[in-house]
């Protein structure tokens, strides 16, 4: 493993566990964005996670041809662990998830006549919204210094003899 780049206040990269279907959604979106930016683009999460993406894609393709139950299990029950080495990667992932959620909302409107498709899209949207909230929370906390321990009060405050708010 490469030496981790610090996220402010963190000593190691942040490891995230994504269900395979979430990882597939994210990587397809990142791949599309990467192609649109061209070769001059800045490094992205897509480049960092490309090896894992190729392996997952290869395995899904293989299972899709030979084992529907195995394909379903891999897609819905297995996880991919990715590392966000810095705050920029974490931000990129959060934005990508938000973009996918917006696409799903559009897809739900378009599929209004197909209850099964709407239910599937709503499931994905709900799960990705939850992931997005988690990522935004990580982005916020990754920019802060670790919390300081609270000091215990030295002594109890003296009791007041007068009424609260009374003029002196």
- Residue pLDDT, tens place only, 19-76: 999 999 999 999 998 888 776 666 689 999 999 999 999 999 999 999 999 999 999 9
pTM listed for this prediction? 0.76
pLDDT at 160 over 70: no
pLDDT at position 77: 97
18: left (phi over 0), alpha (psi -120 to 50) or beta: beta
Residue 104 lies in a domain: yes
Helical H segments across 14-114, by residue range:
20-37, 45-66, 68-77, 87-110
Residue 153 lies in a domain: no
Residue 69 lies in a domain: yes
What are the backbone angles phi and psi of residue 104, rounded to the nearest 5°? -65, -40
Residue 48 lies in a domain: yes
Sign, CA dihedral 28-90-80-48, equals positive
For residue 92, the enclosing domain spans 14-142
pLDDT at 145 over 90: no
Q: Residue 128 corresponds to which tokens in the numbers above?
A: 């990705």
pLDDT at position 42: 60
Give the total number of structural domains in the chain. Answer: 1
pLDDT at 120 over 70: yes
Spatial CA neighbour of 26 closest among 5, 10, 38, 44: 44
Residue 112 lies in a domain: yes
Residue 155 lies in a domain: no
Residue 84 lies in a domain: yes
pLDDT at position 40: 63
Which string of b and e fits 43-64 if b means at least 16 CB within 10 Å? Answer: ebbbebbeeebeebeeebeebe
pLDDT at 157 over 50: no
pLDDT at position 34: 82
Residue 100 lies in a domain: yes
pLDDT at position 116: 97
């Amino acid at each position: 493993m490469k030496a981790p780049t610090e996220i402010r206040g963190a000593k190691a990269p942040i490891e995230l566990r994504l269900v395979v279907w979430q990882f597939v959604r994210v990587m397809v979106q990142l791949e599309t964005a990467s192609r649109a930016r061209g070769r001059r683009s800045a490094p992205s999460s897509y480049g960092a996670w490309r090896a894992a993406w190729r392996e997952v894609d290869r395995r899904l393709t293989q299972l899709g041809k030979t084992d529907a139950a195995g394909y379903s299990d891999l897609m819905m029950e297995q996880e991919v662990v990715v590392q966000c080495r810095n705050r920029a990667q974490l931000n990129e992932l959060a934005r990508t998830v938000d973009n996918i959620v917006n696409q799903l909302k559009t897809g739900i409107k378009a599929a209004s006549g197909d209850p099964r498709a709407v239910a599937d899209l709503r499931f994905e949207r709900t799960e990705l919204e939850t992931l997005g909230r988690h990522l935004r929370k990580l982005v916020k906390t990754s920019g802060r210094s670790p919390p300081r321990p609270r000091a215990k009060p030295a002594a109890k405050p003296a009791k007041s003899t007068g009424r609260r708010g009374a003029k002196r």
